[in-house]
């Protein structure tokens, strides 16, 4: 998968995209991530990327010309083989498991990071989708872009070593994760649930499934409603 990031703060990406699993996936060429400085596409002598809003009001607005040129440079303006262009914005469709798998299925994605009060509205036509990571406003789209890259990277085969690890995670099956434990078996009197030390794998599976359901019922009952509806729909289809 190829990801092009358009930003006016390219340095913000170095840590999160060079360390850990994402860094390894880039080394292995599973993930091809390129970061582009929108400022380098400005043609005026001050390389300006923002300007005062028409009609007045507080703050600055990101200009369309440098962004247009940056988008052109990554192939977003061509007719054939256009990448999927995503603008990170609080007005977008809220990111979740479903949206993440959809974006992860694309071959080439362009992430546009805004700043200040946002981008000149005339840029909207160049975006295939606006994505929000939650109902809050941030100073820029860079952190949301990194969150999006991290969540989609986990769905690309080879990024997370074990497929089972991805498939067992919360939200894959619509349930919260079961509790995890590692050595020592007793720490300051706190014991690991005996079933996990029993060696009976069938029993352990039952226990974990029970824990997942119980946790989901207590903490996220809204998720269980979703599963019940899904079950009802497939039942109807079978009839
Ligand atoms: C209002 C405010 C509209 C994404 C700011 C547009 C981006 C939150 C999210 C903006 C973001 C999110 C300018 C700064 C987008 C622009 C950017 N804030 N919830 N801020 O995903």
CA angle, residues 10, 62, 96, in degrees to nearest 5: 65
* pTM as predicted: 0.94
- CATH number for the domain spanning 234: value is 1.10.1270.20
**141 occurs within a structural domain:** yes
Structural domain count, the chain: 2
| Ranges 55-69, 112-126, 163-177, 204-218: which has the least confidence | 163-177
**89 plus 202 within the same structural domain:** no
Q: Is residue 162 part of a domain?
A: no
Residue 27 confidence class, pLDDT cut points 50, 70, 90: very high
Give nearest CA residue, ligand 1 atom 6: 118
* Spatial contact of 118 and 61, defined as CB atoms under 8 Å apart: yes
Q: Give the domain range for residue 180.
A: 168-238
Helices 201-219, 221-238: crossing angle, 10 deg rounding: 110
Residues 6+ apart with CB under 8 A from 174: 223, 226, 227, 230
The verdict on 146 and 41 lying in the same domain is yes
Q: Are residues 69 and 123 both part of a single domain?
A: yes
Mark whether 173 and 135 lie in a shared domain: no
Question: Has residue 159 been placed in a domain?
Answer: no
**Does residue 187 contact residue 153 with C-beta atoms inside 8 Å?**
no
Residue 161 lies in a domain: no
Question: Which residues fall within 8 angstroms of residue 68, CB to CB, at 6 or more apart?
Answer: 77, 123, 126
8 close to 115: Cβ distance less than 8 angstroms: yes
Helices and strands, number each (H, E), in the chain = 8, 9
| Same domain, yes or no: 143 and 194 | no
CA of 142 to the centre of ligand 1 (A): 9
Catalytic site includes residue 66: no
Residues 68 and 42 in one domain: yes
Task: Tell me what percent of the residues of the chain surpass a pLDDT of 70.
Answer: 100
Same domain, 99 and 72: yes
Q: For position 5, what pLDDT does the model report?
A: 98
Label residue 111 exposed, middle or buried (CB < 10 Å: 0-12, 13-18, 19+).
buried
Q: What's 116's domain CATH number? A: 3.40.1280.10
138 Cα to the center of ligand 1, angstroms = 5
Claim to verify: residue 54 and residue 8 sit in the same structural domain = yes
Residues 77 and 141 in one domain: yes
Cα separation, 138 vs 1, in Å, equals: 27
In this structure, is residue 158 part of a structural domain?
no
Q: What is the DSSP string of 220-231?
A: -HHHHHHHHHHH
Identified catalytic residue from 39, 90, 106, 128: 90
Q: Minimum mean pLDDT among 73-77, 158-162, 215-219: which range?
A: 158-162
Residues 71 and 140 in one domain: yes
Q: What is the 119 CA–ligand 1 centroid distance (Å)?
A: 10
Nearest atom, ligand 1, residue 141 CA: 7
Domain assignment of residue 160, yes or no: no
Q: Where are the alpha helices (DSSP H) in the chain?
A: 14-18, 20-27, 64-73, 97-104, 142-153, 163-168, 201-219, 221-238
pLDDT band at 230 (very low <50, low <70, confident <90, very high): confident
pLDDT tier, 122 (very low <50, low <70, confident <90, very high otherwise): very high
Mutate to test the pocket of ligand 1, among 50, 133, 136, 138 (most ligand atoms within 8 A of CB): 138
Closest to 36 in 3D by CA, of 83, 79, 81, 100: 83
Ramachandran angles phi, psi of 227, nearest 5°: -65, -45
Q: Calculate the alpha carbon distances from 61 to 164, 166, 195, 200, 205 in Å.
A: 45, 40, 59, 61, 54
């Amino acid at each position: 998968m190829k990801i092009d990031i358009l930003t006016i703060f390219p340095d913000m990406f170095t840590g999160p995209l060079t360390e850990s699993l994402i860094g390894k996936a880039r080394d292995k060429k599973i993930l091809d991530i390129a970061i582009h400085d929108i400022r380098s596409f400005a043609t005026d002598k001050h390389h300006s990327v923002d300007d005062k809003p028409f009609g007045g009001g507080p703050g600055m607005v990101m200009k369309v010309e440098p962004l247009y040129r940056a988008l052109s440079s990554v192939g977003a303006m061509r007719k054939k083989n256009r990448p999927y262009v995503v603008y990170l914005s609080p007005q977008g469709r809220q990111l979740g498991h479903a949206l993440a798998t959809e974006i992860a299925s694309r071959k080439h994605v362009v992430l546009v990071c805004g700043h200040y009060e946002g981008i000149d509205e005339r840029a909207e036509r160049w975006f295939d989708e606006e994505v929000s990571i939650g109902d809050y406003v941030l100073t820029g789209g860079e952190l949301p872009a990194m969150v999006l890259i991290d969540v989609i990277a986990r769905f690309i085969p080879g990024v997370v070593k074990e497929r089972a690890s991805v498939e067992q995670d919360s939200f894959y099956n619509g349930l919260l994760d079961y509790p995890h434990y590692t050595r020592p078996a007793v720490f300051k009197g706190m014991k690991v649930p005996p079933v996990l030390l029993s060696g009976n794998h069938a029993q352990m599976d039952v226990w974990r499934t029970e824990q997942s359901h119980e946790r989901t019922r207590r903490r996220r009952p809204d998720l269980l409603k979703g599963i019940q509806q899904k079950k009802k729909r497939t039942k109807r289809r079978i009839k």
